[in-house]
Amino acid sequence: MTPKLRVLIPSNGGKGYPPKTPCPVNSPTPTKIETDGFKGDIWVFVKGYNGELNKGDGKEYFGVKGRESMSYGIVVRGKYKNSFNADQVVFGNVFEKSIKDNLPWGTSIATKFMYFVDPTVEADIYADKPWALSPALATMAHLSLTSEKGGNEKPYIDEDSSKWLEENVEEDARLADDIPPFTDDKSQISTRKKWLTKSSNRQAVEVDPDTEVGMEFSNGLLDFNTLSAQLPPPFSLQIPLLKYWDGQPVTYVCQAKPPKGESPIGQQVYWSVAFEIVDEEVKAALEKKGGRVLSHGEDQSDNEGDKKDDGEQEEENDDVD
């Protein structure tokens, strides 16, 4: 059985968290998004998507070179309303309640894999409100930075970061390393990620409100349709996530890095994306086990009479555009 899902993003004109507005999935047309810290476009793609506001098979994304093996992608392009250095903005997952009693077998292996893939990640999965966050400009699968006027509405990001980074390293940043040369897109991505692994390099880069930032996060490890995670060799582990689901959505946030010693939870969030299960059979099975669904959006089970159909929601999104 493929559980029915929906995707949520922040409501326009408000804060970047929590995400409460249903978002089209697999649409080549962007959804406009504006929060108190960010303004731009967002696309969400899920391979084989079975859920609300399904706009196609996502061929405009999954057919692009380098995305063929991805299972999902989050693409955001726009401008941040205040300047920040590359060490101050992080991206990753946050949860509203503890997950330590529902962690699957193999969690320690998955955690090792997480640090292996992204050495910049910081996490506390045993906290009352768990989190795992990485420097945003370092962790993105594809990143573009430009001071030129916008107009690019491709539903994916062409890597275009190294030249901008080289030109915008602070002149007095003596601790910053030189950015190595690259030969193609693949080497530009690895060069950018490796260079931004060092905090001193990140701190030397200032991104101002005139800079258009394109961010694309994707992978082929997490399958939202089977709700399972597949880790490649040498880890070689498959985790049936639905079996351990505690009712919470999977939420991605792009937010401010907390001051040292403070929790990331409660800091300013620029934008967020949540994947929620709205499948009634799955929800009923959870409740039978004594669990409870935690939703960022309106509680659908208590408001069936007010539920909008896909056509009505499309009109609402079109009005925002």
Blockwise average pLDDT, block size 10, the chain, 321 residues: 90 95 98 97 96 97 97 97 96 95 86 90 95 97 89 91 87 71 89 94 94 97 87 83 90 96 94 95 89 73 40 48 47
Helix (H) or strand (E) holding 165: helix 162-167
Closest CA relative to residue 267, chosen from 247, 253, 284, 246: 253
pLDDT at 173: 57
Asked whether 220 and 232 are in contact (CB, 8 A), the reply is: no
Question: 281 and 29 in contact (C-beta within 8 Å)?
Answer: no
pLDDT of residue 171: 66
Cβ pair 211, 85 in contact under 8 A? no
Give dist(CA 41, CA 89) in Å, integer.
Answer: 18
pLDDT of 219: 94
pTM of the model: 0.90
Nearest residue to 201 via CA among 117, 84, 87: 87
| Eight-state DSSP code of residue 148 | S
> What are 277's two structure tokens?
């299960």
pLDDT at 296: 87
How many angstroms separate the CA atoms of 42 and 26, rounded?
Answer: 11
As beta bridge partners, residue 90 has 135, 255
CA 147 to chain centre: 23
Rounded Cα gap, residues 122 and 33, in angstroms:
27
